[in-house]
Amino acid sequence: MKQNARVKQQKFTIGMKKKLVVLFVIVLLAFVGLGVRLILITKNNGEEYEKQVLSQQQYDSVTIPFRRGEIKDSNGTVLAYSEKVYNVILDAKLLLRSDKYVDPTVNALVKYFKLDGGEIRNYLSEHPTSQYYTLAKKLEYDQVAPFQDLMTPGTDTYDENIQGIWFEDNYIRKYPNGTLACDVIGFTTGDNIGTYGLEEYYNDTLSGTLGREYGYLDDDSTLERTTIPATDGDSIVTTIDGNLQTIVEKYIKQYNDEHANNARQGNGANNIGCIMMNVNNGDILAMASYPNYDPNNPRDTSKLIGMPMVDAKGKLVPGESDFDSGVYITQEMLDGFSDEETYRQLNALWKNYCISDTYEPGSVSKPFTTATGLETGAITGNEHYNCNGSLEIGDWKIHCHNTYGDGDVSVERAIEISCNVALMHEAQAIGKEKFTKFQKQFGFGLKTNIDLAGEARTENIVKKPEEMTPTDLATNAFGQNFDCDMIEMITAFSSLINGGYYYEPHMVKKIVSSSGSTIKNIEPRVLRQTISPSTSEKIIQYCNKVVAGDEGTGKTARPAGYMIGGKTGTAQTLPRGNRQYVVSFMGYAPADHPEIAIYVVVDRPNVALQDDAKNATWIVKRVLTEALPYLNYQMTEEINEKEQAELDEIRANMVTPTQPAGEGEAAEGEEATGENTEGEKAEGTSEEGKAGEKKEDAEKQKKDKKEEKEDDTNIWESFDVDETTGYYIDPNTGNLVNPENGNEMGGDDLPDFTGAPTAEASEGKSSE
């Protein structure tokens, strides 16, 4: 064994050792040669390669933003668009390649962008290897163009020492009409995400796809770039008519301005909402509420002043007593709010009252009860009821608006004068099973699925048949003890007056690509038939009397020269007896063949006595006075001197349309003034004047006869008058009585009963 080991050791000869030494020397020389080569490359070509690597780093992964699609009104007017802007980016590592670049670049930044040179130098000193630092954001092209010339070879101002600066493309959202249609449009966040309204609902449609630019070095060390372009978002064309929207918003604001800080500090009402709708296809022509905001600056807290304050759950903060409509935000309160409290109030501001807040509708819902009775055969329309001022249902004595009684009341007159007792009799004849079935048929308790973000859910605030007591049935009959929202009500009401067709309401009628080609047309969608055409005709007949009848509660809504139909509503808020009301008017035109509907709701108006639907009819009258001529509806009624004076005053401040009215537009010159052939005659022709005089004489005779008839029946005229309000004081109850119609405090649908069951949701409370 030892001998074998010796033999193996002898095999590692001297020759082998020599070969090993030679191999080691060769490897060592190879490393030395490689090191020398690297030194030579660095010395002779290092700057060139460094530039190539830096260029590759700069362009390796640059995001290209997309342009968000536009939002347009039905006339093509742009309501929202995206404008290209630029961010100024500093590449410190590139700039610090040579000291000769620093001073010229920093001085140019200070000169052209008004930046702080000291701060830039400090950043360069503390972050010498940084390759991305934003110096300025959202600059327009005119602001960056002069600086770009400094970096562009061949321009007069080119300076090769300006280094390490580049411009990053971006887009900002702009709303050229300020507050116009803010509730409908919504706004976008800093990262281009839609919030509220159409911006949120159609966010995926309006958003495009980000692009990207890549860079790499080819075999010849040449920088090659590959660009995947961004895909711009699609645009949407809405059903909103910008001119009608402007008209609506003008009169909502005027109402607010005239009533702000009236009976209390704060806005003219807790909320004011208005919707205009095409009853024959579901198009929303205008939708607005007050208070509003500017989507260009949605966090402007000055818009919160005068608003009712909300708590952490978004509910109205109650006032010191049940008779206070809320706690109203002042500048002093704003100054003391935390960021969380401020944001909470802003959220309340950004909500669209027309779709997100619920309330008891009041007498606007009475035509639905009558329509249900006619459609089910529970009533024929020929019934008469005796109203002595109240009706006992179960253990409750439920009053009519006229506590002295309306006497003999027909089905038609019940709608005209808004008699609670007659409607309760109708509901008893219908029964709770059919009543609740038709409530659902009309869409109460269901979402309309309008294409806007934030629609309220009302399923849990409408009674089911197994939950409904006789008292619930009675109060539901005249619009109390169940909640709805505005879009729910106007959509349902449109089906009452268009032959019974329930159209899904919608805000967008067309989607177009960034190149302008139509991608999708959104057609009207009939979801169901609520009532028969014959029942619809009856409801139109009854609602026309609300405006045209001698006793109609909605006479003050009629615009001069036109006849419309509709229904008033006055609903108590909770707790009952707090003298806080939501007043409303649902109108439509033309009266004989409805085509458009308008719904105005005023939530707790800032007046001493809130239970007056005139707070809503005031807005309706002025909006329609301006809107109907614009929509090319011709006047059908004669105008007396008083109406002419009102008309002249309204016309003096009319909106000048910015776009044509579309098919059937008015003749040239009519749009700008709101006048038409009929209007011109009314202003001064002797023929029209004579007709007006005859009309006045006829009205005077009618008024005299009515006064003769009422001499012995107006009991309240013998009561003492309250000097503050001008209302009579009932000596038996101490309640105030409206001198025009004898309505006791509570308006045209006051149920005024104490302790009766109430809906869980209070008025104005959002169900979201």
Q: What is the 3-state secondary structure (H, E, C) of 134-187?
A: EEEEEECHHHHHHHHHHCCCCCCCCCCCCCCEEEEEEEEEECCCCCCCHHHHCE
pLDDT band at 19 (very low <50, low <70, confident <90, very high): confident
For residues 57-63, average pLDDT: 60
pLDDT in tens, 722-768: 766 667 777 666 677 776 666 665 444 444 443 344 333 333 333 33
Q: CA–CA separation, 86 vs 168, rounded Å?
A: 5
Query: What is the SS3 assignment for 732?
Result: coil
Report the mean per-residue pLDDT for the chain. 85
Determine the pLDDT at residue 287.
98
Q: CA–CA separation, 75 vs 128, rounded Å?
A: 55
pLDDT in tens, 649-682: 888 877 655 543 333 333 333 333 333 333 333 3
* CA distance readout (Å), 59 to 91, 213, 219, 449, 505: 12, 7, 18, 46, 48
Q: CA–CA separation, 96 vs 647, rounded Å?
A: 73
Q: What percent of the chain is modeled with pLDDT above 90?
A: 67
Domain 62-238: CATH superfamily is Penicillin-binding protein 2a (Domain 2) (3.90.1310.10)
Greater model confidence, 660 or 347:
347
Determine the pLDDT at residue 221.
53
At 588, which helix (H) or strand (E)?
strand 581-589
For residues 487-510, average pLDDT: 98
Q: Which two tokens stand for residue 421?
A: 């007792």
Q: CA–CA separation, 720 vs 108, rounded Å?
A: 82
Asked if pLDDT for residue 494 goes beyond 80, the answer is: yes
**Phi then psi dihedrals of residue 497, to 5 deg:** -115, 5
Q: CA–CA separation, 463 vs 444, rounded Å?
A: 10
The answer to whether the CB of 542 falls within 8 A of the CB of 558 is: no
pLDDT band at 692 (very low <50, low <70, confident <90, very high): very low
pLDDT band at 493 (very low <50, low <70, confident <90, very high): very high
Please name the fold of domain 353-749. Beta-lactamase (3.40.710)
Residue ranges of the domains in the chain? 62-238, 353-749
Which of 189-193, 213-217, 590-594, 607-611 is predicted least confidently? Answer: 213-217
At 709, which helix (H) or strand (E)?
helix 686-710
Greater model confidence, 42 or 707:
42
Asked if pLDDT for residue 191 goes beyond 50, the answer is: yes
Identify which of 631, 615, 505, 494 has the alpha carbon closest to the alpha carbon of residue 565.
Answer: 494
Asked if pLDDT for residue 359 goes beyond 50, the answer is: yes
pLDDT band at 685 (very low <50, low <70, confident <90, very high): very low
Greater model confidence, 274 or 8:
274
The answer to whether the CB of 637 falls within 8 A of the CB of 624 is: no
What are the DSSP E strand ranges found in 326-473?
Answer: 384-387, 390-393, 396-399, 407-410
Asked if pLDDT for residue 707 goes beyond 70, the answer is: no
The answer to whether the CB of 428 falls within 8 A of the CB of 458 is: no
Residue indicated by tokens 């939950």 = 467
pLDDT band at 215 (very low <50, low <70, confident <90, very high): low
Determine the pLDDT at residue 18.
77
Neighbours of 493 (CB within 10 A): 28
> Sign of torsion, CA 363 367 369 373?
positive
Query: What is the SS3 assignment for 285?
Result: strand
Determine the pLDDT at residue 128.
92
Q: CA–CA separation, 456 vs 749, rounded Å?
A: 25
Q: Where does residue 734 fall: left (phi above 0), alpha (psi -120 to 50 degrees), or beta otherwise? A: left
CA distance between the termini of the chain: 96
The answer to whether the CB of 137 falls within 8 A of the CB of 172 is: no
Asked if pLDDT for residue 55 goes beyond 50, the answer is: no
Q: How many residues does the chain have?
A: 768
Determine the pLDDT at residue 656.
57
Greater model confidence, 18 or 298:
298
pLDDT band at 44 (very low <50, low <70, confident <90, very high): low
Neighbours of 210 (CB within 10 A): 12
pLDDT band at 222 (very low <50, low <70, confident <90, very high): low
Q: What percent of the chain is modeled with pLDDT above 70?
A: 81
